[in-house]
Structure 1
Amino acid sequence: MDKLFNRSFRIAQELQKNIAFIIQHSLKDPRIKTIITVSEVRLSKDLSYAQVFVSFLETNSNLTVKKVLILLNRASGYIRKLLCKKMNLRIIPIIVFFHDDSFFKGNKISKLLNILTEKNNITL
């Protein structure tokens, strides 16, 4: 069997889908006023810990990324409880949220490449 479709990968995909649904529909925290996207879930080998990478569509000036991550990490117990009802797993992993800024880094690299091509008159 291919390593890309092992059990931990399938569980990570299912966790990503369910956590995104829970954040969008079940979290009613008025302090979170931005759209949160779950971009990736990484599971430990024993499936007991999950690193959840989230990105934000827009960030408020009053509420920084760190504050949103603190709020999400405080709500991780509630999210685990809802995951327990949705998923049929023996152990629901402990969830820790991290900021995924790969979109912004990719956008910055793209802008730099555009500037270089304009200076050198190179077409890609």
Structure 2
Amino acid sequence: MEKSFSRSIRIAQELKKNISQIIQFSLKDPRIVTMITVSQVKISKDLSHAQVFLSFFDINQLSNVKKTLIILNKSISYIRKILCKKMKLRIIPNIIFYYDDTLIKGDKISFLLKTIIKHNKYTDSIS
């Protein structure tokens, strides 16, 4: 029977916390101009690979998001070096950063639902 709070979940939570701190405080790249939030970390069962999903505060230009992801993916070795000092793990997972657009999709769905509700209220008041 699998534990309800497995080791991989705890490590993923610690990675999320530490990576967000590293991006916010230790990464001093002037090309990164937007605020970055680590929304989720998915880690493999053998703890050797981690997918880090990021959301950006200012997403007006998709090209800036792509450039920021390229910059972050090039600085993975530096981030892993700092993670080695912060976390007491035998193997620090290989990290790959991905863009998380679930907030944008959620806003679009919410907007569509609101317009449907308004449309239904309008058509109900006419009939």
Instruction: Give the TM-score taking structure 2 as reference length.
Output: 0.90
Structure 1: any 5+ residue segments left out of the alignment? none
> Quick one: structure 1 residues 85 and 3, their matched pair in 2 at CA, closer, same or farther if it must change by over 3 Å?
same
Quick check: 1:90 aligned with 2:120?
no
State the partner residue of 1:74. Answer: 74
Backbone CA RMSD of aligned residues: 1.8
Larger Rg: 2
Q: Could you tell me which amino acid in structure 2 is paired with residue 105 of structure 1?
A: K
Secondary structure at the aligned position of 2:91 is classed as coil
**Bigger CA drift: 97-106 or 55-64?**
55-64
Q: Report the more deviating stretch, 42-51 or 53-62.
A: 53-62
Distance in 1, Cα, partners of 2:32 & 2:21: 15
Matches within 5 A, 1:11-30: 11-30=11-30
Amino acid at match of 1:41: V
Separation in 1, partners of 2:102, 2:25: 25
The size of the alignment, in residue pairs, is 122
| CA distance 1:7–1:60, change in 2 (3 Å) | same
Compare the two structures and name the one with the higher helix fraction: 2
CA distance 1:62–1:117, change in 2 (3 Å): closer
Give the TM-score, by structure 1 length: 0.93
Offset at 1:55? 0.3
Query: Residue by residue, what CA displacement relative to the aligned partner does 1:50-87 show, whole Å, maximum 9, x if unpaired?
Result: 00000000036495211110000001110000000000
The unaligned stretches of length 5 or more in structure 2 are 123-127
